[in-house]
Homo-oligomer: A and B are copies of this chain.
Amino acid sequence: MAKLAHDHTAEDCVELVTIFQNLSKKDKDTIATLVTHHHYKSGEYLFSAGDASDSLIIVAHGQAKVFQMSANGKEQMLRILQTGDFDGEAALFSNTDHNSFAQTLMDTDVCQISRSDFQKLMQETPEMAVNMVNALGRRIAQLEQQTTEVTTASVESRLANYLLETSAGLDEEIFTLPLKKKDIATYLGTTPETISRKLTSLAKQGMIEKISNNKFKILDTDRLMMID
């Protein structure tokens, strides 16, 4: 394997992650000693459903998708882990298995803390526990939003929202969809075919412009927001 372009150390993880950010230097140093890190190539799994779930996983650099598999074999995307995000499930309950999958979307560096170390850490560092509570609260709000949208809004509306969210923050006029259509589809609770159709439909209606198959330009934010 090629040498990493950047070296990602335990300190990097601690600096990157929001739940550690406002802690004292001393606390951060302690945490750094508890962390192990690993490199994954694009497409590898961080964990699969059924795996023993025994550590908190932090994305130090890269991107991974977390999804569940339903009884009939359909994927449902739960979230995209970006640099600095973590997957909590693992560190919270004792003796439960993962019920979801995490697969990297690019080469990705990951840090881990074992459940027991993490639980000890929360006992000893209340600020960290409070940070954790806040992070989980945000996650809950986001999931509630996702559930509501998926059941109450049309695919066209969900897709429009997704485009607006994805393009927000980038002040580029033209932006690139960061995911394959299949992944966008499972994120929005639909199929790649429908995504494809709705994108051309939005383009025909003049709300977006299609530059290439995954590059787009927002033409009419207001109308996109009003769909459905």
Is A129's CB under 8 angstroms from B133's CB? yes
Report the count of interface residues on A (CB-CB < 8 A): 44
Is A124's CB under 8 angstroms from B126's CB? yes
- Give the oligomeric copy count: 2
- A-B contacts, 10 listed (Cβ < 8 Å): A70-B148, A76-B152, A92-B133, A92-B138, A122-B126, A122-B133, A129-B130, A136-B137, A136-B140, A151-B189
CB-defined contacts of A149 to chain B, threshold 8 Å:
70
Identify whether the interface residues of A are mostly helix, strand, loop, or mixed.
helix
Is B144's CB under 8 angstroms from A78's CB? yes
Is A99's CB under 8 angstroms from B141's CB? yes
Q: Which of A87-109 contact B (CB under 8 A)?
A: 88-89, 92-93, 99-100
Is B134's CB under 8 angstroms from A133's CB? no
Q: Is A80 an interface residue (CB 8 A)?
A: no
Q: Is A23 an interface residue (CB 8 A)?
A: no
In the complex, what distance in Å separates the CA atom of A133 from the CA atom of B126? 12
Closest to A100 in B: B144
Indicate the member of A126, A137, A141, A153 with the most B CB atoms within 10 Å.
A137
